[in-house]
Amino acid sequence: MKTHFKNLNTSFFLGLFMIISSNIFAQDSKRGKNILEIGAGISMPNFSTTPDGEAFAGSGSNISFSYEREIISRKKEWLTLGARYLTTSNPYSHLNEDIALFQSTNPTLNFTGTSDNYKLSSFLVGCGFYNYLGKKENFTLFIKAYLGTGALTSPAQSIKASNGAYVNISEITKNSFIYTGSAGINYNFTKKIALGVNFEYIKGSFLFVNQNVSFANGTTTQDPYTINYSNLCLSTALSFRF
C-alpha cells in the first residue's frame, strides 16, 4: 500500500512538472499569468547599532525565490501580487580589528579569532508593476515593493589567546518587521522566459537581548542593543511564466 501511494505521489508531481514546463517552453505569443523567479547576487550592507555606530558587516550574498500572479493586465503593462523568500549572508568585518585590540593590550600573547556571518531569512508579500519597452518587447522594466517578517542572526564569535584565555559570543536570532523596494529590467528570451538585473533595498530594525558572552573565568550577558539593518542588493534573476 505504501509503495502504491508513493508511486501515485511520484506520478502526480511528475505530471505537474510536465504541465508547468510545457507551458513555460511553449512557443506561443501569450504570456502566462503566473511568474516563478529565482535570483541571486551581491549584498552590500550598512549595519549599525543605536543610537549610531560604525558599519560592521561586509559585502556578502543574497538568494531569493518568488511567485507572482498577474491580477491587472494590459497589452504592455501589468500588475502582480506575490510572495517570496529572501535570504542574505554577510561576514562580520571587524574581526581583525578586535584581534588587534586584544593584541595591543596584551603584547606578550598571540590571539586568533573566528566569526560566523550575519544571516537574514525573510518571508514577504507584495506587488510588482511591469512595463514592456520598445515595439519588439524585448525588455521589461519593473518595480516591486514587499513587506513581511525577517529573522536576523547575530553571529557567534570567538577570540582565543595563546595562554588559554578566550572570549566567546553566542549566536542569537531575533525577528522583526522588514520591507523592501526594488527596480530593474528583464531581457525577454521569449514571452515566458526572461533574465533580469535589479537593485533591491532591504530595511528593518532588530532588538537583541540576553546574548551570552563567555570568558575563561565566567559567563555574562551582553547589554541589549539594536541593529538597524539596511542592505542594498544587486541581483540577477531568471523568471518563468506559465
Query: Residue 118 burial by CB count (10 A; 0-12/13-18/19+): exposed, middle or buried?
Result: buried
At 28 the pLDDT is 42
**154 CB neighbour count, 10 Å cutoff:** 22
Residue 75 pLDDT level (bands cut at 50, 70, 90):
confident
At 55 the pLDDT is 60
pLDDT at 27 over 90: no
At 10 the pLDDT is 52
pLDDT at 26 over 50: no
Give the residue among 186, 53, 70, 74 at the shortest CA–CA distance from 128.
Answer: 70
pLDDT at 109 over 80: yes
pLDDT at 16 over 60: no
C-alpha cell at 13: 508531481
d(C-alpha 123, C-alpha 222), whole Å? 29
